[in-house]
Structure 1
């Protein structure tokens, strides 16, 4: 997928300002920035949920996984029925297995699942549409720290097993580093740094990127 000159405006406010970004097939591109940087506006524009200018090519089927898995699932529908909406009943068990959930989860309601399980269901539901691109918008930030790692490992496995292309959005540079091949740093609606993950993290060229790195908790460093 190629995003060219993408701009998103809400009235007189410019949330995303003329960005260009490529998500190569089979790769994960991380988009990182603080709250208010324009990350979610990019996600929604790419997914066709907000008006924008510019062009988005190379991905005719885009699916988005949202931050809050409970809000993205119909609480009145069993998990199997929800997944089947985009894939058909015959694919439900396979999709659950892709996200490491047992078949019996299909008979449960979202309220009966943990946050991590709900997020896995949301990912399975998105995969059922066989997307060219999966947009993951802060998909671990609402989860317990103990659960985040397993979901991130799932993301990496899906990339490796399915050749999945993904735009992975987070405020946490450590999370983005763990799953992404390329990192784009967004600040005030503009990309201020872009490159292979280890290059951006190992030798950041922009002050804003360095500030994001400083915000990553480190063992032995006081947070008070």
Structure 2
């Protein structure tokens, strides 16, 4: 089913963090949410995931079938819990099958099954982010939300994680919201892009079209900030 977000608004007291955003994400496609810090993109995503109260409607997906991968993989993993236990915690299989399911999920994110016995402190940042992705996939989500998942990683491993996301999208047919401040990254991963500014969506469309013919001056400023990603 298509993920439908209609007139979604998030308020924190008198402050409006997201104002009347509507968008559609077809099944199996990836929509990028792009904008500078404070633009409302992460708040919008958290609302879609059911982590933040909102007004408006989110339809096309069951509330429990949305999973989120956060920016900092270390803080999102329990340091006292083994990798295997962290992944198994979210699985939807009988207890007797969990070890095999954990091994399958680790393989899915290109980590060996032996990592199930390790702890977060024993892994690199890129490996921890792969574990966080595996844990999110354990719940067999209908929608996966990736919130700046490469921004806390070394440049040398960012590309590998982005390639993993592309591979998983192809292999699993994932529907995704992909949050980033970088239009070059969004172009590499996404089919469509929603440009957020001050809590409002100022532009939306196929990612290649938005980059080639940006209509809003804010979109043009984001493009200008990426040296090798210029628009016509």
State the TM-score bracket (shorter-chain normalisation): over 0.9
What RMSD, in angstroms, separates the aligned Cα atoms of the two structures?
1.0
1 CA distance for matches of 2:25 and 2:128? 26
Deviation of residue 203 (structure 1)?
1.2
Is 1:96 matched up with 2:103? no
Correspondence for 1:22 among 8, 21, 24? 24
1 CA distance for matches of 2:184 and 2:211? 9
Deviation of residue 218 (structure 1)?
3.3
Deviation of residue 89 (structure 1)?
3.1
2 CA distance for matches of 1:98 and 1:136? 17
Correspondence for 2:118 among 83, 104, 108? 108
Is 1:210 matched up with 2:220? yes
1 CA distance for matches of 2:114 and 2:14? 50
Is 1:144 matched up with 2:144? no
1 CA distance for matches of 2:226 and 2:107? 33
Q: For this pair of structures, how many residues does the alignment match?
A: 219
Aligned position for 1:34 = 36
Check whether the contact 1:81–1:89 (CA below 8 A) recurs between aligned residues.
no
SS of match in other structure, 2:87: helix
Correspondence for 2:80 among 76, 82, 89? 76
Aligned position for 1:47 = 49
Is 1:129 matched up with 2:131? no
Deviation of residue 171 (structure 1)?
0.7
Deviation of residue 206 (structure 1)?
0.7
1 CA distance for matches of 2:115 and 2:5? 37
2 CA distance for matches of 1:218 and 1:176? 14
Deviation of residue 32 (structure 1)?
0.2
Correspondence for 1:9 among 8, 11, 15? 11
2 CA distance for matches of 1:80 and 1:20? 38
Deviation of residue 91 (structure 1)?
0.6
Deviation of residue 197 (structure 1)?
0.8
2 CA distance for matches of 1:24 and 1:71? 31
Deviation of residue 90 (structure 1)?
2.9
Aligned position for 2:58 = 56
TM-score by length of 2: 0.93
Structure 1: runs of 5 or more not aligned: 220-224
Deviation of residue 117 (structure 1)?
0.4
1 CA distance for matches of 2:160 and 2:5? 30
Structure 2: runs of 5 or more not aligned: 92-97
| Cα deviation digits, residues 175-207 of structure 1 (max 9, x gap) | 111100001101111111111110001111110
Check whether the contact 1:29–1:181 (CA below 8 A) recurs between aligned residues.
yes
